[in-house]
Amino acid sequence: MIVGMVFFSCKKKQTIHITAKNAATGEPYSGLTYYVVTHKNVLKPYGGKKAKTVATGTLDENGEAIVTKRLSKNNGHGVRVEEPENSCYNKNIQLYFSEEDGKNFKAEFEFAGCSYRTLKINNVNCQGPNDLFDMDMHLVYNQNYTAFSFPEKSGCYSNEFINEKVPAGKWFVEWWVTRNGNTDYFTDTITLIENELFVYEINY
């Protein structure tokens, strides 16, 4: 009887709510495989961590799964969702949680498929070597994801970046053009469709 009490005192019931959605479209990702794992430190001389899968399954038509397990308070815990095919973006690969996260842990994953982008930049109104051009492109659904940023270019700059593989979805484009000491600022928002090529041209 005492042994049973000690066993259950070392484990706590935890509910994990797992969701996955397409960051580009907002639609749920159904059918993806998820894993709930525990990990603990390995004793010397080898060290490191030993992981064990304690639950696995597939997300339903709403891109969701709810898992309730008794998990050891002394081990670390994580949730992982396998990336879908043709994925070029993920917000999370594996999320870790502990007893401090409460009885209900929300594991939220986002993915986006791949698109192709050709970018053409042309200084069609070149005034000479003092012309300056600078630009940035980043995902609307993740402002920290920048897929195109380069040092400021000078003079009669022209270039093409052909068929670059990038995440699908909305992109925010901004660029600066300086001529004769005056700087103009431009912005645009473009939408890249999964598996399609988008050609974008800037003539300044």
Per-residue model confidence as pLDDT tens digits over 44-103: 555 556 778 999 999 999 999 999 988 877 778 899 999 999 999 998 888 998 777 778
- Rounded distance, CA 171 to CA 190, Å? 5
- Rounded distance, CA 137 to CA 173, Å? 5
Query: What pTM did the predictor assign?
Result: 0.81
| Topology agreement, domain 8-112 and domain 114-203 | yes
The answer to whether the CB of 35 falls within 8 A of the CB of 89 is no
Burial 114-134 (b: 16+ CB within 10 A, else e): bbbbebebebeeeeeeebbbb
Tell me phi and psi for residue 6, to 5 degrees.
-65, -40
Q: Select the more confidently predicted residue: 109 or 46.
A: 109
The answer to whether the CB of 103 falls within 8 A of the CB of 14 is yes
Determine which of 37-41, 107-111, 146-150, 166-170 has the lowest per-residue pLDDT on average: 146-150
Enter the CATH code of domain 8-112. 2.60.40.10
- Residue in the block written with tokens 């996955």: 20
Stretch 18-37: mean pLDDT, rounded? 96
Neighbours of 176 (CB within 10 A): 15
Segments making up each domain of the chain, as ranges: 8-112, 114-203
User: Please, what is the average pLDDT of the chain?
Assistant: 88
Cα dist. 174→95, 130, 133, 164 in Å?
A: 33, 20, 11, 18
Kind of pairing, strands 197-203 and 104-122?
A: parallel
Enter the CATH code of domain 114-203. 2.60.40
- Rounded distance, CA 29 to CA 61, Å? 8
